[in-house]
Structure 1
């Protein structure tokens, strides 16, 4: 048996023999625990096994020690031919305090941590405080590299607390100053949630919180560039997300058109800054035809899973054919880097009420189900616009499909488009056919998602499908 020696210093990669012994001792525990985590991507499929990509000891893990240890692991989950790499932060204690019992993963029966309580470290403030200290002092620790944006000040002694509202990642707030997003499912290459806000901040864009520090894998386990593991950004104290503000306005019978108009402007400012800062391109000819084919294939797959779509499929296919017609007519569609998953839950409004303050766009990670390469591919800005239009529809119909809620959605969709047009200097009406294409594609995606995960919400995207199948009005 290989035991991690007492002399292992803070922040080192464990010896290879310790790595193999460590994983074998934890494998059965993690195999049971991982599929039950909300951020695990392979739900519903057997987990065939785990391999260890990297292990770093951020705090010494000594059995019987009175102080907690902290392990950082990158593990690869194997499910048939599919593999996904996950970031795990594991706390190690001899005795687990009652407050941390829900985070328990188990007690290994063998290996270097035999008999210790191994648990998810994110709820443990003693251990998440270590991450902030590492970010305050950039440099390499074992298999990890910590970096900090020049000119940023990160205070010490900020009290950490985890947030519990996210699905695909984990976040820790430090005092009321910073928020650290920890990516759970990771892939080689710069994560758009770091790449885009960093580029926007350096370009002077005020609509996106600027990254203060981040950490990544120092030695990518599978090539292809470092894995972005966590990002520290300013915490917008007193802000509220757009979804909650919209629902509150709807419930109180208040107008949301002013904030919707301002949100359209903020979206356009971000798009303009991205186009000015990062490379742009155009889609034409075969590329446009391929886009239409991709959307049609998604529609066909969704129809197989949700037969209620079949009656609308001919009309929805007609919408996608508009893209083919554009290609044949020689049209070109500008593409650039975009948010990629824009909706009311991805925007924050500062100020005491929906009527005051300003908007900030957050979470540039893109749709988690897509590969990192897909999320970094330039897209038409109308994909973001369509996502926000669908979000207004969702907010309205979540309160019931009434005439009043439909009118609320229409008014806010108009206000958002108007704000976007003013700030972007473009007329969306001239792109109505293409906007309908992206809204249709988004609605089809929503139908499949709701059928699989929230069947009671399926009527919301189905109502949009009926509307969009009726034409571009």
Structure 2
């Protein structure tokens, strides 16, 4: 490995967005590096390949370069190390934290040529008149998007797990996709399809490059610029506040305690249905045949078998879960499918002055892009939100001496908001969850099994949350 690759091999595993935690790194290779700003300071986009026992993953690193010993104190936390690059000893660092360099990204997006919505995910553009190939890194803007750079200073949003987002003033948020899969990122694709919806943050522009797949260059999304929802409050925060209000009022029903969330849950259900209807209008739809439903149920059974093998605490519930998946396999009606959110929970929605807004249509970041772009039943998203209500109700009981006494209140809060969300979803024109319980139950159990595996590997103290939820659903 080069000096830079050695530094990256130490630095990447420490980043929150690194998906390979828990497994040793075999090699780190800089697959490609594209200079955006030359000189000092310098800015490059790196495509880094990380080889581990399960295969090779690609990550994006926005690399800043300055002469050794000149990194400002406020950027010390972003330092990767010191190495020789192009014959010069330089300090290299995560440039997403450097407002001087990230301001140039917004300037380039503001100056980019407009592209109609059909250009999202289309062939690479930007070649010169004499037929020269397109630029290695391309800045693209939607036709009707008016991006202003001005003197907006960027700030990295805290708390993000799988990507890195920069907020420019009170106007824009630029999300960098850290783990890269060749092709169009679903977040850009679906947000562009919903550009006229009141239920999404308006997209403005994006950055792309070519990543080779099977020997050919594939246009791949690096980052996406959207409207910043300045008045927004995170859905998880609102729900958690409601739960705390209930726990502070022992003996009261959820609807009688201050901060009842059911009205918001119902409005969120209606907003979700509106987004699903818009996606069905704008993008292709299909149906799953009975045979395809059997394949879906088989994949759920496979995940259950793997989870029960790795997490013995799940085994007492395996029979109930298996029965739900077998019921799904016996459904004899075609199941409508379409593009969906794919990773839907309370942390993916915000409440603004105008209502609920859905964010982060990327899908499950650990899954390949082609899998995330695959149509699914909208009930999959419904199930994801129902699981999120259970999490919001139960997570505050982890380690609490009052957990046993408060468990009935947690169950009542979750049930009240589950019912409200489903009612709002049906009222908003979505598939009535009450009339499709077999499919919904299978999706919800499958999500809970995924959560069991996740918590066992990452947060063992939270393992009881999905296990208790499965027990309650099975009762």
Correspondence for 2:284 among 279, 289, 309: 279
Say if 2:207 and 2:222, in contact at 8 Å, map to a contact too. Answer: yes
**3-state SS of 1:48 partner:** strand
- Offset of 1:425 from its aligned partner? 5.3
Say if 1:399 and 1:405, in contact at 8 Å, map to a contact too. Answer: no
Say if 2:182 and 2:211, in contact at 8 Å, map to a contact too. Answer: no
Correspondence for 2:169 among 149, 163, 175: 175
Show the counterpart of 1:83: 56
- Offset of 1:219 from its aligned partner? 6.0
Distance in 1 (CA, whole Å) between partners of 2:308 and 2:244 is 34
Say if 1:220 and 1:227, in contact at 8 Å, map to a contact too. Answer: no
**3-state SS of 1:312 partner:** helix
Q: Give a deviation string over 1:196-246, Cα, whole Å, max 9, x none.
A: 010111xx3221112100010046465362110000000000211100011
- Offset of 1:86 from its aligned partner? 1.0
Q: Give a deviation string over 1:292-342, Cα, whole Å, max 9, x none.
A: 11000101111111101111101110000011111xxx3211110000000
Distance in 2 (CA, whole Å) between partners of 1:302 and 1:219 is 34
Distance in 2 (CA, whole Å) between partners of 1:426 and 1:187 is 32
> Any unmatched runs of 5+ in structure 2?
114-125, 127-133, 247-258, 398-402
Distance in 1 (CA, whole Å) between partners of 2:285 and 2:416 is 32
Say if 2:17 and 2:178, in contact at 8 Å, map to a contact too. Answer: yes
- Offset of 1:142 from its aligned partner? 4.3
Distance in 1 (CA, whole Å) between partners of 2:166 and 2:335 is 40
Show the counterpart of 2:375: 378
Equivalent residues in 2 for 1:29-428 (5 A)? 29-61=7-39, 67-80=40-53, 82-94=55-67, 95-108=70-83, 110-112=84-86, 114-138=88-112, 142-156=135-149, 157-201=151-195, 204-218=196-210, 220=212, 223=216, 225-253=218-246, 254-326=259-331, 330-351=332-353, 357-400=354-397, 401=403, 402=406, 403-424=408-429, 426-428=431-433
Say if 1:443 and 1:461, in contact at 8 Å, map to a contact too. Answer: yes
Say if 1:216 and 1:229, in contact at 8 Å, map to a contact too. Answer: yes
Distance in 1 (CA, whole Å) between partners of 2:240 and 2:430 is 30
Distance in 2 (CA, whole Å) between partners of 1:229 and 1:316 is 39
Q: Give a deviation string over 1:150-177, Cα, whole Å, max 9, x none.
A: 1211112211111121010000000000
Distance in 2 (CA, whole Å) between partners of 1:316 and 1:227 is 38
In structure 2, do the counterparts of structure 1 residues 38 and 26 end up closer, same or farther at CA, with 3 Å as the change threshold? same
Distance in 2 (CA, whole Å) between partners of 1:224 and 1:263 is 40
- Offset of 1:434 from its aligned partner? 1.1
Say if 1:443 and 1:465, in contact at 8 Å, map to a contact too. Answer: yes
Please, what is the CA RMSD of the aligned residues?
Answer: 1.6
Say if 2:294 and 2:329, in contact at 8 Å, map to a contact too. Answer: yes
Question: Which aligned runs of 4 or more in structure 1 are off by greater than 4 angstroms?
Answer: 139-142, 218-222
Q: May I ask how many residue pairs the two structures share in their alignment?
A: 432
The range that moved more, 279-288 or 335-344, is: 279-288
Distance in 2 (CA, whole Å) between partners of 1:168 and 1:245 is 22
In structure 2, do the counterparts of structure 1 residues 113 and 271 end up closer, same or farther at CA, with 3 Å as the change threshold? farther
In structure 2, do the counterparts of structure 1 residues 285 and 310 end up closer, same or farther at CA, with 3 Å as the change threshold? same
Say if 2:6 and 2:28, in contact at 8 Å, map to a contact too. Answer: no
Say if 2:204 and 2:227, in contact at 8 Å, map to a contact too. Answer: yes
> Any unmatched runs of 5+ in structure 1?
1-22, 62-66, 352-356
- Offset of 1:259 from its aligned partner? 0.6
